[in-house]
Structures are given as C-alpha cells and as structure tokens.
Amino acid sequence: MTVNPVVAVAQGRVRGSETDGVLAFRGIPYAAAPVGVHRFTAPAPAPAWDGVRDALAYGPTAPAAPLAPSLKQLLESPAIAGEEYLNLNVWTPAAGAGRRPVLVWIHGGAFVNGSGAVSHYDGSKFARDGIVCVTINYRLGAEGFLLVDGAPANRGLLDQIAALQWVRDNIAAFGGDPGAVTVAGESAGAMSVTTLLSMPAAEGLFHRAITQSGAGHTVLAATAAANVTTTLAERLGVKATAEGFAAVPPVELVAAQPAVADEIAAEPDPTVGDEPLPQILPFAPVVDGQILTARPIDRLGAGASAGIDVLTGTNADEMALFSVPSGAIDAVGDHALAAKLAALGADPAVMLAAYRQARPDATPGELLTSVMTDWFMRVPAVRVAEARLAHGADTYVYQFDWPSPKFDGRLGACHTLEIGFAFDQLDTPGSQAMTGPNPPQTVADEMHRAWVSFITTGDPGWAPYGHDRTVRRLNEHSQTVTDPDAAQRRTWDRIL
C-alpha cells in the first residue's frame, strides 16, 4: 500500500503524493487569502491549521482577465475557484533528505492572467534531476498592481516576495537548500524577476535568476499608473481609493479591466523612451518611490544584484504570438509600419533598411513583428546583460530559435513556446497547444539540461555575455554565436 508523504511546514502538516519517485505537494498557502480585511493590503501570514492538510491538487487561482479570443487555442489558462489563491506547489525528489538547489517559478500572463497550475509548469522533471521546484500564484490585474490611495503599491510583487520568504523558511523540509534558490519566470514572470533583482526588499531571498522573454524596462511611471486608476474608477463609478475599489467584488473588478485596457489603448501614444507604452500593459509594476524606487534597468545599471548570476534570453519571433493568430500581421501596410516605428522613437528609413536587409522578402506585418520583438523583448534583455557587464556580473544570454509549425509555420519561435522545452514537458497539453505533435525532444534535452546546470552551478554551458556579445542560439542545431543580428540591434542604440 502506498503511503502519501507528509511534511511539516510552519503552518502545519501537509500531505502530498508520489509519482515515479517524485513527491508533489500542491496548493499550499504561503499567505492569507487576499480578501476581506486582507484585500488591497500587503500579504499577511497564512493561518495555521490542525491535523494534516491535503496538498494533492492545485489550489485556487487568482481572479484573472480572460484571454484574447485569438490566444485561447494556444495558451492554457486554468481557473480554479476559491479565495485562498496565494498558494504554491512543490515537487521534490525526497522530503527532508538533503540540501538540493531550488527553483522558484513565477508565471507570466501580462500581469492580468496565468497561474502556477499550467500543465507544462509541472516541476517533476526538475525534481527528477535533483532540483526542488516551486511554482507560485500572486495577485493579478487591479488586485495586484493598481496604484491605489490607501494601499501599498505593487501588491503582486509583495506577494512574490512573501512566497520567496515562505520558501526560505520552509523549503528545507522538502529537501531544498534555502541558500541555493534560483528565481525564474517568463514574460510578466521574467519582468517580475528582473524587478525583484532591483528591489532591496528581495535581497537575500534568491541567489541566481532566470528571465525568459522579459527584462527591466517594463514598469509604469506613477503618472501613467494614476491614469489607469482614474480610468478604472470612472468606469466603475467609485472613488479611486482602497475603500472605493474594495466595495467592488473581485469578479466585477476583473470584468472591467479589458474595457479599461481598450480605452487606454485608444489614447494617443505617449512618448516612448523612459517607459514602455502603458497601452500594452496597463496593469504592471509601478515606480512608486517606496517599494519600487526606479526602473529595474536603471537599478541594475547602478550595480544592484551584481553578485547574482543571471540567465536571460528571448525567442526569435516573440510577437508573432500576438500578430499571427489574430490576423493583425496581414493588416499592416507600409504607411502603418513607418508610423509605428516613428512612434517608437526610431528613424523609420534607417530602421527599415536594417530589418529589410535581414528579411528582404518580409511583408510589412512581418517586419513590424520583428521590430516589436526587438523593442519589447530582445533589446531590453541585451540591455540587462550590458548593464551587468559594466559591474563585472556574469549574465548568460540565449535565443530560442525552434519554430512552431502552427499557422503554416508563421508562428515561428513565438512568445511562450520555449517553456515546455525548459521544463522538459513537451507531452503536456499546454506545451503541445503551441508546438503541435512531435516537437524535437533533443531541443528540450539540451535546454532543460542547460537550465539544470545553471540552477545547480551558475553555468549553463556557454560563455557569459561579454564585449563580444556571446549568445547561445537554441534549436535543432544549436550554436554559440557573437553579436547576432547586430545591424538591427544598433538601430535601438539611442532609443532603448
């Protein structure tokens, strides 16, 4: 008879499950439910319980905005009802039997959706390879990131810090080493990780970092965040205060967010430069002057987290996820392309010359997808590596190149595609929705092995980014190159 494993944590005992030698504990609260008196506050400690609590299934997920219709066929978005959604999941080779390195994964989802319960976030393959893997939930959208009078800013980031504190205090019971924690994430999760690298409140809670498709420019200025707050309050007919928003049920607050995003997106583009367009991520970390004192890229440029090794990178065709399934890629003409480049602060003729030279047969929509990939993803990751290089900090840079066959191959190596490869979970529904059947296991073998090596030793297996701009390109014929796509990169030198 199989006896389910039981582990004691600070709040009480939890009962997990075992599959193929890996122990899993799901849905463990790391903070109090963010409802009632705990809504719009900093995370409070999770209450204790008597007896043994079952940790056999994923816990509730945070209230989340719906996915765009064009993305529903590609992105998995579990929704599990319940108030106790500040919870986490742990996979381990064996409880209390060693001091293994730890991976803490922060999910993406544009800060408005996502959870730690996505199928290809299953950490069992990391546990198989000797790593204790943790995935977390955190407050999303207005609940987590709206700038509100009478409430702490960046509550979603504070949740992430609370989860890391829980890991520090409890992970040894699962066989993990609290002194060897790597924090990782993708998209909004990677932006969160880069932000945590810049925050004094997160110091000492992790020792390495992995950022996949997200970097250090994606925060809002307080003025932009205040505009989002005012717009949402006016739509809901409440005062723009913690008391006013607390009177709105979470489901109604979530329901109002897409319309607010659409309203803000319809506003004229502000000047780009010191911050990304709030039209893209209206609910995002905000430079509030207390919890977050500056843009993460600026804090890294001043030497923050120079003692922490970082692995960062992007996918070759990131923004195809948003332009191809929606059909937007085919609606772009030459005039719209030039106008968008000018709005980004570029000289359209100079930038188009560089991108057309690399892709002479590309349509205007395909060129815009490449430009937006570099503006929002690739170049910000390069800037992180450059900022850290100035302080002698090791940063390892990759580019994921394997193209999905979906949409007749036009999806390419798009945003989120690499996650199933990094987790070695290509057979899960969430991964196969992106890859289609029979993706190359050899690419997953290499990428997962590099991630395991970095988490364990701080070295993924190629040279760190230096003045020669070393990048590892991951695909079926991976190679280490220097300064890839240099002409396109240089067009951003006075913009980002």
Catalytic residues: 187, 318, 415
Going across the sheet that includes 12-15, the strands are 6-9, 12-15, 52-54
Q: How far is CA 342 from CA 272, 338, 347, in A?
A: 10, 6, 6
- 466: tokens are 């230096």
Tokens in use for 47?
Answer: 């209450």
Using the structure block, give the residue that is written with the tokens 């064009």.
70
Bridge-based pairing state of the strands 470-474 and 395-400: parallel
| CA dist 314 → 196, 413, 444 (Å) | 19, 9, 16
Residues in the chain: 496
The count of other CB atoms within 10 Å of the CB of residue 259 is: 12
Q: Is 30 exposed, middle or buried (0-12, 13-18, 19+ CB in 10 A)?
A: buried
Task: Give the span between the Cα atoms of 174 and 171, in whole angstroms.
Answer: 5
Distance CA 142, CA 240 (A): 12
Which pair of tokens denotes residue 270?
Answer: 């502000």
Residue pair 132/95 in contact (Cβ under 8 Å)? The answer is no
Q: Under 8 Å CB-to-CB from 239, ≥6 apart: which residues?
A: 233
How many degrees, rounded to 5, is the angle at CA 57 between CA 52 and CA 60? 100
Three-state DSSP state, 173: helix
Provide the sign of the torsion angle of the four alpha carbons 375, 297, 315, 463, taken in this order.
positive
φ, ψ at 35 (rounded to 5°): -130, 170
Burial status of residue 467 (CB atoms within 10 A of its CB: 0-12, 13-18, 19 or more): exposed
Place of tokens 């019971």: 173
- What is the DSSP-derived secondary structure letter of residue 377? I
Q: Which amino acid is at 297?
A: I
Residue 248 three-state SS:
coil
